[in-house]
Structure 1
Amino acid sequence: MPVKKGTVLFESFNGKDVSDNPFAIYNQLTQDDPTARKRCYFSVKPSEYGRLVKQYPNIQFVKRFTPGWVKYIARADYWVMNSRMPKWWRKNKRTTFIQTWHGTPLKKLGIDIENVEIPGSQTAEYHQEFIDEAARWDYLIAPNQYSHDIFKSAFGYSGKFLDIGYPRNDILYTENNADDIRKIKQTLVGYQPKQVMMYAPTWRDDDFSEKGKYQFTLPFDLAQFFENVDPQTLLVIRPHYLVKDNIDISGFEDRVKILADVDINQLYLITDLLITDYSSVMFDFANLKRPMLFYPYDLAHYRDQLRGFYFQYDQANLPGPMVENQTDFYQKLSEYRQTGAFTDFSDNLTRFNQKFCAWEDGQASKKVSQLILQGGYTNE
């Protein structure tokens, strides 16, 4: 079937939301060519359709895996997606598939995972699914050289790369001023907290009670947390969406916000200190050159048994201090309260930024938009 020229189908996280790199590209594309809005569609899960239509009244939506969806997905000129498409759906040979992916990998990925712990998945089948999927991609966006090299091996990818940085990170360069940050704080939390700390832990494949039911336990005591930070601190918890309803913040509702569904780049912009463990948020947040604290309380298990890492995860390579128990965690919070920084890690942060953020310049969305509208992009 011939494609409908100029038609673009976007999808983010298998249709769960309108977010991440696809949404950044959509916004830029429709800004560069307002008429493109009529030719752009977001593929979303039927269960999310009603919510998203209300939230984004100007976007055209199609319900994923419905008969109506087929006529758009089958004849789209471009697909712009950040995760895999089901193997059973064959791509039109005339459709150009731009795979944006969704993070710089710290943890082993795809074919590089030696032992897959996801319930219901066999390691060999999981590996083959990645190989088959990557063969459909016409372009793959890489945020840095490190990711470029890993994507080649982890996906078995031999196609064309767009070495341009992540479109979703453009906002960290274009809206990073005091007025923008003030507006975001007001929108997200309703007031202007003096200080914002965000706890954004990684996704743990094996933390489940049964298939499809995942658990989450906060690895620190909220009362002790607030004893060691500035009294006007707001703690934002950014969990995986599967565990967002399982977090107990009783007694601290006025000082803690659980924000699982907000665009995380908005959260980066208001965050003064990022607390994480093995999450790829560290790579994106590094664009802002702000302090980070690493709390890998289950390091030995995670590194050696569950996923494995691509680079040496230790004090020498991380852009901030690493603690593995609550006592040290509270001590580092207290240190940050006194100085507003981790001065011993300023060089680490600079090196980390240079390695993982060198391609980021606030122009990635523009380049993908040019590719779609003009068939190529320039670095000007």
Structure 2
Amino acid sequence: MYFKHKLMGFFFNICRIFPLKSNKITFITDKNKSFEDNFKYIIKELNKEESDYDYTFFKKDKISLLNFYNLATSKYIFLNDNFFPMAFMNFNRDVKIIQLWHAPGAFKKFGYSILKDESRKELLSEISRKTTYLIVTSHNIIDFYKNAFNINKNKILPLGIPKTDFYSKENLSEKNLNKIRINFEKEHPEIKNKKIILYAPTFRENEKYANIFNFFDVKKFNNQLGKDYALIVRLHPKIREVVSENSNIFKILKSNEVIDCTHYENEQELLLLSDILITDYSSIMIEFSFLKKPSIFFSFDLEDYETKERGFYYNYKKNVPGPIVYDSQELIDTIKSLNFDFDKIGSFANYQFDYFDDMSSKRILDYVLKN
């Protein structure tokens, strides 16, 4: 069991013979380059300060001596996701391992909170024992992350998430927002003079509910709202793992009924571009609340998701920062009404974030490198 993880641990432990470099930082990445936004802003901050620190990347799926040498000689190691081979790696006690996590805030359960496999729970606990700091966005959610990682509460620091550094005054300026809109209109002239609605559903293990367009009636949506709104869609990158190629989803994505932005490079530009977000249980709602914009929660499978998939850390119906709808007509009527509670959106955002600035990377590096 866990042969590859143990093999990677073995190679790492061999490379421990090389001395630790006090100015070396390694970022652990995967072959898909997913969840790398946090690293981008940490690196940007390092370059801004013109520091003496050198950084390199450890590719999760690459077994090479150079890869393990870089990791074994780094005093600072940043992660954005779980990396189970760490459980079998014997780190120098001077090494600092910083888990940034890829999603802001806390809402749906994850990690140790939902694991049923005892051996994986043991691995995650061992990784958490070796983790120096776990960075979160708010002091309010520390207990949820304590449970999700089975980690000592004293290791959790509410310093913010680096990816929100994107929302600088410059990027939020009217000039930049116009620029993003103009560039998007060049690619998709059909959005001209229309407001934009982003539909970004979460990943579902259940194929029945993963076929979202069996529940979201796009034709009805466009017939009633198409004059004033353009619908852009961003699906979870793992959707093809549970949904077949000939499903309704991919037929609609290839049609002119929606604008497929699943592979649009900058998700945060889409959030700036969008007037309304339609989601369900995705953490994208937390980042959208950072912008104090309205969301609608199209939760056609709420009971199933809550009891058979993830579940939530707190009451879904009471806490989501927007109206909950269960079918397409209810969704359409809610958009027509534009009846959003912006006080509730603000309260939700204030619960999920301690900071609304572009300084998270600086706070993290100041604490980790200078503490």
TM-score range, shorter chain: 0.7 to 0.9
Aligned to 2:323: 321
Q: Within 5 A, what are the aligned runs for 1:1-380?
A: 1-12=18-29, 16-17=33-34, 19-33=36-50, 36=53, 39-44=54-59, 64-87=62-85, 89-93=88-92, 94-103=94-103, 104-113=105-114, 116=115, 123-158=117-152, 159-174=154-169, 175-187=171-183, 190=186, 193=191, 194-207=194-207, 216-218=211-213, 219-229=215-225, 231=227, 233-243=229-239, 247-249=250-252, 252-253=255-256, 255-260=258-263, 262-314=265-317, 316-336=318-338, 342-343=339-340, 345-372=341-368, 374-376=369-371
Asked whether the 8 Å contact 2:27–2:58 carries over to 1, the reply is yes
**Counterpart in 2 of 1:51?**
none
The structure with the greater share of residues assigned to helix is 2
CA deviations over 1:264-294 (Å, ceiling 9, x no partner)? 2222111110110011111111111111110
Per the TM alignment, residue 123 of structure 1 is displaced from its structure 2 partner at its CA by: 2.4
Q: Deviations over 1:68-101 (max 9, x none)?
A: 2111111112111111123365153232111001
Tell me if structure 1 keeps the 8 A contact 2:292–2:342.
no
SS at 1:260 equivalent? coil
Secondary structure of 1:182's counterpart equals: helix
Tell me the amino acid that sits aligned with residue 164 of structure 1. Answer: L
CA distance in 1: counterparts of 2:90 and 2:181, whole angstroms: 42
4+ residue stretches of structure 1 with deviation over 4 A? 12-15, 186-189
Tell me the distance in 1 between the aligned counterparts of 2:31 and 2:123: 15
Report deviation, 1:129. Answer: 2.4
| Backbone CA RMSD of aligned residues | 2.7
Structure 1 unpaired stretches of 5+: 47-63, 117-121, 209-213, 337-341
Q: Quote the Cα distance in structure 1 between the aligned partners of 2:38 and 2:268.
A: 11
Q: Is the Cα contact below 8 Å between 2:81 and 2:102 reproduced in 1?
A: yes
Q: How high is the sequence identity, in percent, across the aligned residues?
A: 25
Please state how far the C-alpha of 1:261 moved relative to its aligned partner.
5.2
TM-superposition CA deviations, 1:149-192 (whole Å, max 9, x none)? 11112212115222111111122243212222233344556357
Is the Cα contact below 8 Å between 2:198 and 2:277 reproduced in 1?
Answer: yes
**Aligned partners of 1:17 and 1:44 also within 8 Å:** no
CA distance in 2, matches of 1:184, 1:18: 22
Using the TM superposition, name which of 249-258 and 99-108 deviates more: 249-258
- Partners of 2:182 and 2:121 lie apart in 1 by 44
TM-fit CA distance, 1:365:
0.9
Q: Which amino acid aligns with 1:78?
A: Y
**CA distance 1:227–1:324, shift in 2 (3 Å):** same
Alpha-carbon contact 1:130-1:155 (below 8 Å) kept = yes
Corresponding residue number in structure 2 for 1:58: none
Residues 293, 44 of structure 1: CA spacing in aligned structure 2 closer, same or farther, 3 A cutoff? same
What TM-score, normalized to structure 1? 0.80
SS at match of 2:25: strand
The answer on whether the counterparts of 2:196 and 2:230 sit within 8 Å (CA) in structure 1 is yes
User: What TM-score do the two structures reach when normalised by structure 2?
Assistant: 0.82
